[in-house]
Chain A
């Protein structure tokens, strides 16, 4: 007797249902119910409250900015080792380091930046001896700018890891074809390379965006939970109903999942486009 195919998958599906689907489902459904247990859209409307709206705005800005900078700078780094003619050792070092750094997030990362650019941080002190007091100039690690600098520490390496295979997959014939048709370096990049690389770059941007959007630990450890980001606000809501409305907490979670889901859907689409070119 043959066991039907679904039987072997059933334990996994049951686990995923219990510990991934159902817990998120409870929040998503809860977003549509008021304190009195009746269906309502009020929670979603309340997402427009100033504090919540500003949390979403700041989180989207932070995620988009670090994703954009991560994509551009990570691309330049990956380009420098794949096409810039640098020795293979440097490339090996970058890829190994990126593997480690993209896994080096959360609390220790926040500590590293506090030790470097905090008020008594080492770099802050060194700059001080040159007469530059960055904190007098209005810089603070515990703000949007500081978070951006810290987030880039895991965004950049992630970008290097994602985009290096695509750059390695760029066929030499494409450049030769462009050159033989009289195209220069500019023509090659604007008419051939970048159009071909657009899907993988878009996919990378979305992955980095979601990566920053869901990040909790680094912001929590760096700012002590003071900065008004969506994950931080959700964390505070879990710990003590700071919104004074459980339904609104669920709606906050719903908004976050919706944004993450939208970015992963576009990401999958871009990935498919990228694979057309074997990138």
Chain B
């Protein structure tokens, strides 16, 4: 819509303020609550307790490793596929679009259920393999990784870049790494950060497949303690903010929307 200089409407301002209150009060309350770790004193005791817990670092490292594995598997699978579809198999785009809606139809709790039933018993017995969890994460992250890559590819003329590379004598591998991927940098980075933001705090798959990940760890802390969970909530909000801030920084304008829960 063309920008028009309208004067500020009071009802609009009112809605905005009410919305801001709803969003900011819990954040402020959680932060203040987290400062009460020590009786009759305001301070960062709850945070110190969190950091001092060896399980914090252990579970966080585990989730970090899963996030890296998910990024490697997810991009390793999707980048070639999406490039191929754009270059050589445009008819298959419909199938990819359809698949990007499917994880929505099959929520994590159903996915976990299916994995346990199908891959738990022999002959597979994959329940003890972190690769099964990573595969689940690839499925969860698929919609926004795909949308991000697809959006990035729409913005560049892939066919022409590819032909230009070929006509200058570069082979497909060289064209891919020196021309195409650098042009997709912001799309790739936003896919990576969204994957990290999703995997690091993910609960459902991790808890149902019985992995000592960060999400289940947080849930456990929440069951036993009062102030430490608030500290964890503040930390994880900060982390999400940092990841999304990084996307914003790298993508300047084009941004994707992800869904988690």
Q: Give me the interface of A with B, judged by CB distance under 8 Å.
A: 3, 5-6, 8-9, 11-13, 15-16, 18-20, 22-27, 30, 73, 76-77, 79-87, 90, 94, 96-97, 99-117, 120-123, 152-154, 156-158, 161-162, 167-172, 210-211, 213-218, 220-221, 224, 231, 234-235, 237-239, 249, 253, 256-257, 260-261, 264, 268
Contact = CB atoms under 8 A, between A and B. Distances in A.
Given A107-B218, A111-B233, 5 more contacts: A22-B118, A108-B237, A112-B237, A152-B22, A221-B218
Interface string B132-166: 00011011000000000000000000000000000
Interface of B: 1-2, 4-9, 11-13, 15-16, 19, 22-23, 25-27, 29-30, 32-34, 77-78, 80-81, 84-85, 88-89, 91-92, 95-96, 99, 101-119, 135-136, 138-139, 194, 197-198, 201-204, 207-208, 215, 218-219, 222-223, 226, 229-230, 232-233, 236-237, 240-241, 244, 248, 255, 257-261
A170 to B, nearest CB: 6
Nearest first, the 4 closest Cβ-Cβ pairs linking A and B are: A84-B12, A23-B114, A214-B107, A8-B84
Q: Which of B6, B114, B115 has the most CB of A within 10 A?
A: B114
Given A19-B138, A105-B261, A77 B15 contact: yes
Contacts of A76: 15, 19
B6 A85 contact: yes
Contacts of A82: 1
Give the dominant DSSP class at B's interface: helix
Contact of A238 (B104, B112, B118): B112
A24 B111 contact: yes
B109 A214 contact: yes
Give the dominant DSSP class at A's interface: helix
B109 A121 contact: no
A11 B81 contact: yes
Contacts of B77: 11-12, 15
A57 B45 CA distance: 43
Given A23-B114, A26-B114, A161 B257 contact: yes
